[in-house]
């Protein structure tokens, strides 16, 4: 039995929020880049039948070789995941909706409202009911099928964006498949998704790129002073310009006003700093302007959820200097393990020119004393 | 024998770039907050005689109790570290130069040129020769003596900024003491330091705070989509507004032009996005404007030095999903240790709502295959 989303009821294979007989469902992946190939790998591993299409013979063959499915452009399917670049995603979705008139078609682009609008403009309402926009929030520094991983989505958020009139069974099937990859499924309308990622994803990318771009002309002696702060702030500045231009252009109407607010905010601080540089006493409100930005940042930062989507957690942090030599990590984490203590998070920091690293271990406050005692017993220099 | 920096020669205690008899050198710490108390702890541990002064009886007593020195306002000393807040540092330096006419006086504020200028305006040239501006680039989320650590400076950069006319022996003594705390000492003029930190430290702080401030009004459903990107970009937005207002105001003349460049850059991108949002076809150069920012960011980011100040390293990254349970880290790092492989860096990522963490291990490319083999042998799911 195959899933017939047109029938408007939950097929036997799917009940209790999961898919009970994956092998009965045929999934087509159109576009075997990093995301498409990773979906193929994840769903193949879970027992789904996966068919692969891609304009590049190399990409689709590689995905098949990795175990992501079989190359096949012609067999009918129950669900299609369109994993094409953002600027062509809508056209490919429309094409697939017409090609497989009983299949659910989902895309995985990072922007959603524009794609819904474009799909709606090129297919009729009956086709549109089978379209489900989604956004798996996973990625890597590397791209292409060669970087694909069956566990790319494990522990990541996968947003599903039904519109008015989207068939509920189509939505449920896509949610189940996203869940089957190990992702945490979050459901919200496309416009809310776009407004959210404009702030939590697209704005940070622009800020990171702008800060990093200022390093281009800096003397080597100045670059050497780079510490943990700028490394953190600019890590995502490594991202691919072509992909990000498509993402930002695709969400321009949500990103533009957010970026304009930040420009106004920073411009006001720049003016205050200019006044302070010229004549400190002549600018009574200037310090207040600077303080307000830093203070507002503290308030906003405190809202970011902690691990696993819980409320922002206040973990206790223990800092342990470790020698820069093989086995040092192993000894440290072995000793943490002996204490039976769960690490909530960890960070590693390096300075310039020193043969020592600092490892920051975050644990629940209740166990920090025991962790310190255990590590000190084992000879570590612990700072809690 | 005590060090007499006025004598213009290297005392016997110091040779070969180090201090051979620390107990012969008396160091005074003025201001026992996080940095001052940590210097006291670090130098006491290395055998220096440390005297503590602070307007707060609690802070100085706490530092003494922690082993950071003895409370004493009257005994003559060889070196004074002024660890007062940035906006009063110059006044305290001038006072200490007059109080101890044969001592070297160093400060530890994050901005340097303004302090040199203010000290120069309030003491004569003879006093000024004994002043050495420095900036230990270390800090923590917590402040005050209670957060002090003897190893706060281990592996961190400590910038020493001699001016024209600074006594070379005074500079050498301060460099030796900074080195004795475990820091990597970098020497450069005050104005170059200020221009460098404006870009690598103060600009990232402003960008992080501005991005984080945009989260204040965001609905909870949108905040949930926060991933690794915004967490990294906004981590330093936790910083203390009062301290940062002093730092930014103190370096206003270097920060203002850098921030103005970034404002112009982001404003231009915001305009391009606005054009793309209104009418995509009417804005042929708009995508180019967006692409240029991301691309410039890539170029700048690539200049950040790798671990230990080396050239930017291209490490190979291996990703290992680990269960969220006690001992999982220990097992993983024990297995890495068994392979005799040195980790160059590590990161941990969490998704929303999933009981699994992803650990990214960075190693030299030459050993990545061996690491993968070893971990797979031990049953880990490895992605290289």
Average pLDDT over residues A181-193: 95
Please say whether the structural domain A316-377 has been given the CATH code 3.40.710.10.
no
- Least confident among A54-58, A179-183, A368-372, B186-190: A368-372
Does residue A16 carry a pLDDT above 70? no
Under DSSP, is residue A133 helix (H, G, I), strand (E, B) or coil? strand
**Cβ–Cβ gap A154/B356 under 8 Å:** yes
Q: Give which of B330, B348, B370 to mutate to test A binding, by max A Cβ within 10 Å.
A: B330
Please name the residue of chain A whose CA is at the shortest distance from the CA of residue B346.
A348
Q: What residues in A contact B264, CB-CB < 8 Å?
A: none
ipTM: 0.78
Residue A272 and residue B384: Cα distance in Å, rounded?
48
C-alpha atoms less than 13 angstroms from C-alpha of B336 in its C-beta half-sphere: 33
- Please list every residue in chain A whose beta carbon sits closer than 8 Å to the beta carbon of residue B269: 206, 259
Instruction: Give the tokens for residue B31.
Output: 């201001």
Q: Which residues contact residue B94 at a Cβ distance below 8 angstroms, ignoring those fewer than 6 apart?
A: B118, B119, B122, B123, B127
- CA geometry: angle A219, A222, A225, nearest 5 deg: 150
Note the pLDDT of residue B360: 79
Residues of chain A with Cβ-Cβ distance to B351 below 8 Å are: 154-157, 183-184, 308
- Chain-centroid distance, C-alpha B98: 30
State the nearest Cα–Cα gap between A5 and chain B, in angstroms.
28
- Parse chain A into domains and list their residue ranges: 22-189, 260-304, 316-377
Segment 102-161 of chain B within 8 Å of chain A by CB: 137, 141, 149, 151, 154-157, 159
Q: What is the least distance, in Å, from the CA of B67 to any CA of chain A?
A: 14
Instruction: Test A304 with B231 for CB contact under 8 angstroms.
Output: yes
DSSP code at position A383: B
pLDDT single digits (tens) B335-360? 887 777 777 777 765 543 445 567 87
- Interface contact A341-B326, CB threshold 8 A: yes
pLDDT, tens digit, 9 for 90 and up, residues B162-176: 998 899 999 999 999
Higher-confidence position of A104 and A330: A104
What does the pLDDT average to over A220-237?
91
d(CA B307, CA B297) in angstroms, rounded, equals: 20
| pLDDT at residue A13 tops 60 | no
Rounded to the nearest angstrom, the minimum Cα separation between B76 and chain A is 32
| Contact across the interface for A214 and B197, Cβ inside 8 Å | no
Strands (E), chain A: 14-15, 18-19, 26-30, 49-53, 70-71, 79-82, 104-107, 131-136, 157-161, 184-187, 316-323, 345-350, 356-363
Do A316-377 and A22-189 fall under one CATH topology? Answer: no
Q: Do B200 and A226 touch (CB under 8 A)?
A: yes
Q: Which of A209, A230, A280 is opposite residue B294, by nearest beta carbon?
A: A209
| pLDDT score at B381 | 81
**Quick one: average pLDDT of A181-186?**
93
Q: Is B9 on the interface with A (CB under 8 A)?
A: no
- The pLDDT assigned to A14 comes to 43
Strands A157-161, A131-136: pairing is antiparallel
Q: CB–CB of A163/B358 below 8 Å?
A: no
**Interface probe with A: pick from B34, B251, B300, most Cβ of A within 10 Å:** B300
Superfamily per CATH, domain A22-189: NAD(P)-binding Rossmann-like Domain (3.40.50.720)
Q: B283 or A57: which carries more pLDDT confidence?
A: A57
Please give the average per-residue pLDDT across B290-316, as a whole number.
Answer: 78
Give residue A306's pLDDT band: very low, low, confident or very high (50, 70, 90): low
For B300-357, the DSSP string reads: HHTTS--GGG-SPP--EEEEEEEESSTTHHHHHHHHHHHTTPPP-EEEEEE-SS-SEE
Mean predicted lDDT score pLDDT of chain B: 86
Listed range (A59-63, B221-225, B308-312) with the worst mean pLDDT: B308-312
Q: Top-level CATH class of B194-282?
A: mainly alpha
Is pLDDT larger for residue B76 or for residue A149? B76
CB contact under 8 A, A298 and B237: yes
* CATH architecture, range B25-188: 3-Layer(aba) Sandwich (3.40)
Examine the pLDDT at B280 and tell me if it is beyond 80: no
């Amino acid at each position: 039995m195959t899933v017939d989303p047109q029938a408007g009821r939950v097929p036997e294979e799917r009940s209790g929020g999961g898919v009970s007989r994956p092998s009965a469902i045929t999934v087509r992946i159109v576009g075997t880049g990093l995301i498409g190939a990773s979906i193929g790998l994840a769903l193949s591993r879970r027992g789904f039948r996966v068919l692969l299409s891609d304009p590049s013979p190399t990409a689709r063959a590689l995905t098949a070789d990795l175990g992501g499915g079989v190359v096949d452009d012609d067999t009918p399917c129950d669900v299609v995941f369109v994993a094409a670049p953002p600027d062509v995603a809508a056209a490919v979705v429309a094409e697939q909706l017409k090609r497989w008139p009983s299949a659910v078609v989902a895309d995985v682009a990072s922007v959603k409202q524009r794609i819904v609008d474009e799909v709606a403009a090129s297919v009729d309402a009956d086709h549109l009911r089978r379209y489900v926009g989604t956004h798996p929030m996973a990625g890597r520094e590397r791209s292409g099928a060669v970087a694909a991983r069956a566990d790319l989505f494990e522990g990541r958020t996968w947003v599903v964006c039904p519109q008015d009139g989207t068939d509920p069974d189509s939505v449920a099937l896509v949610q189940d498949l996203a869940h089957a990859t190990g992702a945490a499924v979050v459901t919200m309308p496309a416009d809310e998704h776009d407004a959210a990622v404009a702030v939590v994803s697209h704005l940070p990318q622009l800020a990171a790129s702008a800060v990093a771009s200022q390093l281009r002309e800096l003397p080597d002696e100045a670059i050497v002073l780079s510490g943990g702060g700028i490394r953190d702030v600019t890590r995502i500045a490594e991202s691919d310009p072509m992909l990000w231009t498509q993402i930002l252009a695709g969400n321009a109407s949500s990103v533009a006003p957010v970026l304009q607010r930040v420009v106004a905010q920073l411009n006001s601080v720049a003016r205050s700093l200019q006044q302070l540089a010229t004549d400190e006493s002549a600018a009574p409100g200037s310090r207040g302007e600077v303080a307000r930005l830093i203070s507002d940042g503290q308030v906003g930062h405190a809202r970011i959820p902690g691990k696993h989507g819980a409320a922002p957690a206040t973990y206790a942090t223990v800092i342990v200097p470790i020698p820069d030599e093989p086995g040092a990590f192993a000894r440290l984490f072995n000793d943490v393990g002996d204490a039976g203590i769960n690490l909530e998070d960890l960070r590693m920091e390096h300075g310039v020119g020193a043969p020592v690293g600092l490892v920051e271990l975050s644990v629940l406050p209740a166990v920090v004393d025991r962790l310190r005692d255990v590590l000190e017993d084992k000879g570590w220099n612990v700072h809690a």
